[in-house]
Amino acid sequence: MILGWGFRNLASFASGKHTIAIVRHGENIWTKERKWVGWVDVPLSSFGIKEMKQCAETLKSKDIAFDAVYTSLLSRAIKSTNYILDELNMHHLPVHKEWRLN
């Protein structure tokens, strides 16, 4: 899961208008097999990778300037985050990894 928030400029920040984007990680291999996953660290499926690339393209088209990213410690969430940051060319953003988001 990715939780990011951004604002275009200082004026929009001062106005209290922010954008929050919440993205669930892509499909994982157990979900594809209809198994319950929970906190088990199961990798993304090939379809899940495709989902994240499509999600990144959608976010890119919205032209949102994010300030930070929050993700769980599970590899499927971290890899989902990386696919999105790759497409947005935003690897400079601070990425906060939090077990409470697992």
pLDDT tens string 38-90: 777 888 889 989 999 998 999 888 887 788 889 999 998 999 999 999 999 99
What is the total count of domains within the chain?
1
Name 65's Cβ contacts closer than 8 Å, sequence gap at least 6: 6, 7, 8
Alpha carbon of 12 to those of 5, 7, 66: distances in Å? Answer: 13, 6, 13
Domain that holds residue 37: 2-101
Domain containing 60 — which CATH number? 3.40.50.1240
What is the model's pTM?
0.75
